[in-house]
Amino acid sequence: MTATITSDPDVAPVSLRKSFPLRHFRQVPGPELRRLFHRLPEPFGGSRDRDLLAMALGATLYVPATRPDLTATIVRRAERGVCSMVIDLEDAVADHDVAAGKRQTVRTLDELADSGEPHPLLFVRVRDPHSIGELADRLGSGAVALTGFVLPKFDAARASDYLDAVAAASQRLGRTMFGMPVLESPALVHRETRDRELRRIGEVLAAHRDRVLAVRIGATDMCSTFGIRRDRELTIYDVRVVADVIADIVNYLGRADGSGFTITGPVWEYFADHDRMFRPQLRTSPFAEIDAVPFRQSLVSRDLDGLLREITLDRANGIQGKTVIHPTHVAVVHALSVVTHEEYADALDILRADAGGVAASEYRNKMNEMRPHRSWARHIVLRAKVFGVANQGVSFVDLLKALVES
């Protein structure tokens, strides 16, 4: 089976010698999938649709480039349902290990391409624009295993250098490489320079639109600007100085009028047991209904109730997907990404209407306004393609349990 990936008219298509069906929930057995889903998630690994791939990122798992078993780790995570990963050469690697990390990154990508083993959408987080060309020059067959680059400390001063380097790498490798800028610089965080910085960044991103897969938010660096660290009892939206920056990023770069980009949620840092100061943020009743109270307790003990709440707030603020640093977070992000049967029914009703107006939803619990809700409905249908639609009566608890137990 072959697939062709390119969206750049100046870059020749490259046939992938080996491929596998990259699809969310692929690790869940067929009978369980049919029980859970009204509409099954669709494969997207060979897609050339930038918006579809951006939506499909889901939980993007970071892994240090210096990890000794890097190739095996990527294969193992793919088999467990991870669909996007970042090989990190920046914050996760000590300065004296960067050269070794680059060598291992190239070797890993070549090994994955040559072996035909399953792997997610793969990106490399570089330290500077120069590293993009350096890695592109070193890659052999591994070019077909690489989807693009994560561009940290992305600011107006370096934006063009970064994205020009991504364009040059596309030419060098013979296929389109995507860039994912990380917005986290002090000029963006500081109130007096933020508007100018966002306008300048927006202009550069617009000029390279076809190569920008998604815009990522670096909340950890934003917090460091003020010498603070978000506590595990709080979501990033409780840290007002950072929440204000996120709101402005969405306002400038996340508009639904065709000028915006997919914006992904910042990392959730916590995963270990600890003593709690506040009550858990997860109601008992959804778990009691399916006899899963012990499962709830296990989520709470690993601070995953806070992650669930933050993902919900991400979505409410126009953000899709999330950066994660622990494999246990992946299932949580993906379970909450599945479209509910009610959302899907509303979206289809809205998109079927050719004119404006208002009508009661199929569930008879809300009003659907055909024109104002149309952009929302398009997002729901796009998310349904890659994450599927749950059956009536299936909750995020059912989906999460299926992912954790499969």
Within-domain flag for 26: no
CATH number at residue 156: 3.20.20.60
- Rounded to 5°, the CA angle 233-234-236 comes to 150
Provide the residue range defining the domain that includes 331: 46-336
Secondary structure E strands in 213-310 = 215-217, 263-268
Q: What is the pTM of this model?
A: 0.89
Within-domain flag for 142: yes
Within-domain flag for 121: yes
Within-domain flag for 7: no
Tell me which residue has tokens 């300048």. 200
Within-domain flag for 33: no
Within-domain flag for 306: yes
Tell me which residue has tokens 């024109």. 371
- The alpha carbon torsion through 176, 318, 128, 14 (nearest 10 deg) reads -10
Within-domain flag for 202: yes
- In tens digits, what is the pLDDT along the chain, a chain of 406 residues? 333 333 343 443 333 334 457 999 999 999 999 999 999 999 998 888 999 999 999 999 999 999 999 999 999 999 999 999 999 999 999 999 999 999 999 999 999 999 988 899 999 999 999 999 999 999 999 999 999 999 999 999 999 999 999 999 999 999 999 999 999 999 999 999 999 999 999 999 999 999 999 999 999 999 999 999 988 889 999 999 999 999 999 999 999 999 999 999 999 988 765 554 455 555 566 655 555 655 555 655 556 778 888 999 999 999 999 999 999 899 999 999 999 999 999 999 999 987 778 888 888 888 888 899 999 999 999 999 999 999 999 988 899 989 988 7
Counted domains in the chain: 1
Tell me which residue has tokens 């998604």. 214
Within-domain flag for 83: yes
Q: Which two tokens stand for residue 136?
A: 């592109």
> Concatenated DSSP letters for 87-150?
EE-STTS-GGGHHHHHHHHHHHHHHHHHH-----EEEEE-SSHHHHHHHHHH-SGGGGG--EEE
